[in-house]
Structure 1
């Protein structure tokens, strides 16, 4: 799907009208609905049910450590220059893998593996190899699996990149955020342009299958001119995928953001101009607007999956394997099964205690109802494909769509009047301008969070 800008009006008043807070819908129900009522025992039961389905697996491994704090960051991280703290974490992570795989049918093929953080390349090479070997010992990774890792480009060299490729990683992601030195200094993420291009050269030399880079708009001292330079330089890097995040300034939630002066942030109009320019530049340079904040080249797996109707969202964002169930390992990690989600303890102390006791380190979770599952399909179709075929939902769940969602369809009519969505007899279609506010369209089908929006970021 191509995001066509000609004729699309970026109306600030319209954007403001609908730019309320809403979940990013990397899951439905959102992670905010996970509850401590859901226990490790409940998750063990969910795993047993998952084994009966025999769906293939996606695995996520969380490395929480960073050497320094990025002031824009909203992740759960541990900041330390003492690399020794990673050793006990890896030992407990290996034990968690062993404990959990006693419940998982490990004959199920693993189609995706992802290491996230934090900073996965915080680990030394021998530590990377240790964890890699543990994963391969307990899981059957498909020979064609997507194996990806996030890196901080400030802490790698050519040898490290080559090692990652040789050991088995075939996809890689790194954060640019902004090329501008003033912006980088303001967010405590100084990484010279020459270094970023050098890291990309190493990645291409190592022949990674796919490269993803991240940008962030809304950071201090950004303006239309400087961010255009960042976009142009990013296009010159020639990544396969580009994610352009909206900076959510929530210092009352993430105290590290107090290091950023609110006065230094771009205005709402400036942010809108930046977003419009970014979409124009990327779509005019052979990147397709996949959805939310993701862009991909036309031959990239995300674009192909979207055209085939198999694109999906999970806690890692957009993914190409809709058929997998996700198991997360490490502190804060979230598992996403067909009918249950579970999150590990965030604190290392609690995480370590559970692992040592031989208990799955579940701190909270949720068991999905049939209504949750139906609404998830609706919301994920809207989020991933910008349209919904009502008959697909009716056949799958044996319901009358218009009757089941009568109230939701009524509440979408004002959005249709404003040109965000087309309500057809058999389909719901999101318009070009509606794609910018797709979260705020999807929220109409959300019975968990739609009436309380204070926990979520704004779309624009």
Structure 2
């Protein structure tokens, strides 16, 4: 698939970000990782300051995996932890003691990985604010460079593996909100981490924190980024690519993906061509999620519209958020308050004209 697409792109364009994820890349053997690296380097040129990140699973990780990944150019790593509490780990069938995660981090630091991210999840069975506070104590002792703290999204109709939790009692939205408030308070205390947009935390000297402060933060399928205007070309089953005017997704089932690639065809599952209206809304939602504010004048100039007129009905739907102190009007436009950051998705959804009540079951709840 890489060999077929690469000749269609400008050979002088350099890769500024590389992400190897979508599950467990370290399922591959070290020699397979090196082979994949050879393929990527053969067909693409890399920028000298490339950000190359990989998701690893500590439960199936060896030092040789991390050596192979470093050899082919990866300089950042991310690991899923979810929760360090043994009862929670047992309930979600993911046994991963602290020592296992610490060993992986030690290998990464020894081998020169410049940034280490840990993923946590709240809203899991047997989680309480008290138990999650203990997990936060452990995480703060480990000192990752970045943290992503996600709300558990129970979508078994999309992820059948989640059916094992169907008979488990999940925390209420109120309990999850209490945990999220705890997370923000603990991680941002004494300027240990900066709260980035939604879900993410980074050290104050991290480029994400600096970009957010300077209103230069971006967001794409991989999360928050400092690289604006980069096209995303994705490879592998179910992967999603993005260029300014279109999105497309590869086949979501392995037999169909393999059949297409082996037959010399693009393994296309579906595509969407972006309209002018989509672009206006994408930029608006981006700024809400990245800047936590909207400057109506700046948006009007950037988008070539009268922002307040164009989005009059959407701005009107924010009235309940204003009444609850989650959004406030300013001389320039509007700002999301500290309390409003807990509901940033809901606020941003006000500008999404594709959402309707009928979509409720198709997507996870925001809290």
TM-score range, shorter chain: over 0.9
Report the Cα distance in structure 2 between the residues aligned to 1:169 and 1:223, rounded to whole angstroms: 36
**Aligned residue for 2:346?**
440
Equivalences for residues 77-88 of structure 1 within 5 A: none
Q: Residue by residue, what CA displacement relative to the aligned partner does 1:26-56 show, whole Å, maximum 9, x if unpaired?
A: xxxxxxxxxxxxxxxxxxxxxxxxxxxxxxx
The answer on 1:362 being equivalent to 2:268 is yes
The answer on 1:258 being equivalent to 2:163 is yes
Contact 2:56–2:79 (Cα < 8 Å) also in 1: yes
**Aligned residue for 1:58?**
none
Equivalences for residues 2-21 of structure 1 within 5 A: none
The answer on 1:239 being equivalent to 2:144 is yes
Contact 2:121–2:150 (Cα < 8 Å) also in 1: yes
Aligned residue among 234, 256, 259 for 1:350? 256
**Aligned residue for 1:323?**
229
Runs of 4 or more consecutive aligned structure 1 residues displaced over 4 Å after TM superposition: none
**Aligned residue for 1:387?**
293
Contact 1:99–1:359 (Cα < 8 Å) also in 2: no
Higher relative contact order (CA 8 A, sep 6+): 1
**Aligned residue for 2:364?**
457
Equivalences for residues 58-77 of structure 1 within 5 A: none
Unaligned runs of 5+ in 2: none
Q: How far 1:281 moved relative to its partner? A: 0.7
Equivalences for residues 206-245 of structure 1 within 5 A: 206-245=111-150
**Aligned residue for 1:201?**
106
Contact 2:30–2:64 (Cα < 8 Å) also in 1: no
Contact 1:436–1:459 (Cα < 8 Å) also in 2: no
Report the Cα distance in structure 1 between the residues aligned to 2:104 and 2:168, rounded to whole angstroms: 33
Contact 2:83–2:121 (Cα < 8 Å) also in 1: yes
What TM-score do you get using the length of structure 2 for normalisation? 0.96
Q: How far 1:265 moved relative to its partner? A: 2.0
Aligned residue among 51, 57, 61 for 1:156? 61
**Aligned residue for 1:136?**
41
SS in 1 for 2:17: strand
Contact 2:327–2:337 (Cα < 8 Å) also in 1: yes
Q: How far 1:273 moved relative to its partner? A: 2.0
Contact 2:33–2:68 (Cα < 8 Å) also in 1: no
Report the Cα distance in structure 2 between the residues aligned to 1:250 and 1:138, rounded to whole angstroms: 37
The answer on 1:341 being equivalent to 2:244 is no
Q: Could you say if the C-alpha distance between residues 269 and 402 of structure 1 is closer, same or farther in structure 2, counting changes exceeding 3 Å?
A: closer
The answer on 1:103 being equivalent to 2:8 is yes
Q: How far 1:322 moved relative to its partner? A: 1.5
SS in 2 for 1:313: strand
Contact 2:31–2:68 (Cα < 8 Å) also in 1: no
Contact 1:109–1:140 (Cα < 8 Å) also in 2: yes
Unaligned runs of 5+ in 1: 1-95
- How many residues are paired up? 365
